Structure 1
């Protein structure tokens, strides 16, 4: 499902117009991005939680040459599904 399909699904489920659904989705994404940027965790009970984790610097290998390269440390976003979501998928 891509973004436009998700907007269509939100509109169908909620009874909102597609334009309102797209604004709501953009608002949700902006709020989650802002919270994660500050280092906060976003928890949606029954759905799941978004968090930021630090990945340490490490050494890797270039698969073409086999040469060792340095991979910089960075922050990564993680999503852990809630029990209700996991039950519906299974």
Structure 2
């Protein structure tokens, strides 16, 4: 990994290069294609499920009233779409086991 605790696209491509034997350029292109496919599906309103890893889920949040913590003034919060990630049970077991 390039930074402490951060896995980057370049790290994924380098891992593909080493473990699968693809060229560095093909590995980088492969990683980009996967990420583009995932982004496209999410942009189209689809959830993305990767078996054994987890699910990226889109949720629509309705309008609500929030409060400015400094002033206490109530302000409306506009409806929006949010992206959440839910780790698979296998992933959760691996994370708990690693800690």
TM-score range, shorter chain: 0.7 to 0.9
The counterpart of 1:38, out of the listed 44, 51, 63, is 44
**What residue in structure 2 maps to residue 69 of structure 1?**
75
CA distance in 2, matches of 1:86, 1:15: 30
**Structure with the larger RCO, 1 or 2 (CA within 8 Å, 6+ apart):** 1
More moved, 34-43 vs 13-22: 13-22
Cα distance in structure 1, aligned partners of 2:77 and 2:19: 43
Segments of 5+ residues of structure 1 without an aligned counterpart are none
Q: Partners of 2:72 and 2:15 in 1: how far apart?
A: 46
Distance, in Å, in 2 between the alignment partners of 1:50 and 1:66 is 34
**Cα RMSD after superposing both structures:** 1.8
For residue 11 of structure 1, the aligned residue among 17, 26, 32 is: 17
Match of 1:78 in 2: 84
How many angstroms apart in 2 are the aligned matches of 1:4 and 1:89? 23
Structure 2 unaligned runs (5+)?
A: 1-6
